[in-house]
Amino acid sequence: MRAVPAPDPLDTWVAHAVEKPGATGIFTDFDGTLAPIVDDPAAARAVDGAVDALHRLAARFGVVAVISGRPVRFLMDRLELSTRPQATNLVVAGLYGLERARGSAVELHPDAGRWAEAVADAAARAEADAPPDVLVERKGLSFTLHVRTSPMSADWARSWIEACAAATGLVSHPARMSYELRPPVEIDKGTVVAELLDDMSAGCFLGDDLGDLPAFDALDRLTADRGLAGLKVGVRSAEAPQELIERADVLVEGPVGSAQLLERLGLDGA
């Protein structure tokens, strides 16, 4: 008997999505997923075609969201929310869901605001303590120590962040060449995905880093609990964590691969 090749998980998922576009959610990370990682985080931009594809998808599918650790204002700018008609269809969640764009307004998570002062104090201490080659990025309700251009300072940054977390009650989150402190609010990319998929029958998430794994967890949970058609897309790079690569249903090559996949989702069955 001839072996029947297993169906391609992307083809299977796209068939679900185009059958019920209004009940489909499409979610993506930003840095490393849509935008190449660059030394200066302020200089990051999505690759050609990615922003167009997202807006096209947002006009067609039930919910389309960019969910990132960046401040939501940065994302709104990079995703051209203010310059495109109908851009409000695209949901933008910043700081892992602590901030959400509603049209041109920004809503804060109700539990996060009271931590703003503690975050600002800790960020000021980081700026005073950090070696000159460590970049302190203030994000409002969180801040990040970047060691991309100074890997020799990675140990310093990790122990500083851990000590600060223990002293303040803020929570540390390691990522690619960076360490971040956030308020101890039970929110991450997974809680945002689960909320946005509340009444949807299919959902996918594209991510490249450890902070994206909770979104993969949420898709797995919804698939097990209520038969959601989930698709976990891992973005391959030299720095991609092994766990992300192993858990992905589909791998794409860098942000260009992500943009190609989003473009395909916008065209298939349309």
Give residues in contact with Mg ion (CB under 5 A): 29, 31-32, 208-209
Of 125 and 249, CB closest to Mg ion: 249
Strand partners, 146: 135, 178
The least distance separating Mg ion from the CB of residue 164, rounded to whole angstroms, comes to 23
Active site residue 29: yes
The least distance separating Mg ion from the CB of residue 10, rounded to whole angstroms, comes to 20
Task: Quote the tokens at residue 47.
Answer: 């690759």
Give the C-alpha distances (Å, rounded to integers) separating 216 from 143, 208, 243.
Answer: 24, 11, 11
The single residue of 11, 29, 188, 249 carrying the catalytic annotation is: 29
Give the span between the Cα atoms of 51 and 14, in whole angstroms.
Answer: 20
Burial 149-167 (b: 16+ CB within 10 A, else e): ebeebbebbeebbeebbee
**DSSP line for 198-249:** TT-SEEEEEE-SGGGHHHHHHHHHHHHHH--EEEEEEEE-TT--HHHHHH-S
Residue whose CB is nearest to Mg ion in the complex, by number: 32
The least distance separating Mg ion from the CB of residue 5, rounded to whole angstroms, comes to 32
Look at phi and psi of residue 109 and say left if phi exceeds 0, alpha if psi is from -120 to 50, else beta. beta
Give the span between the Cα atoms of 105 and 88, in whole angstroms.
Answer: 11
The least distance separating Mg ion from the CB of residue 222, rounded to whole angstroms, comes to 22
Q: Which residue has the tokens 């897309």?
A: 233
Of 62 and 207, CB closest to Mg ion: 207
Of 32 and 62, CB closest to Mg ion: 32
The least distance separating Mg ion from the CB of residue 85, rounded to whole angstroms, comes to 28
Question: Would you name the residues annotated as active-site residues?
Answer: 29
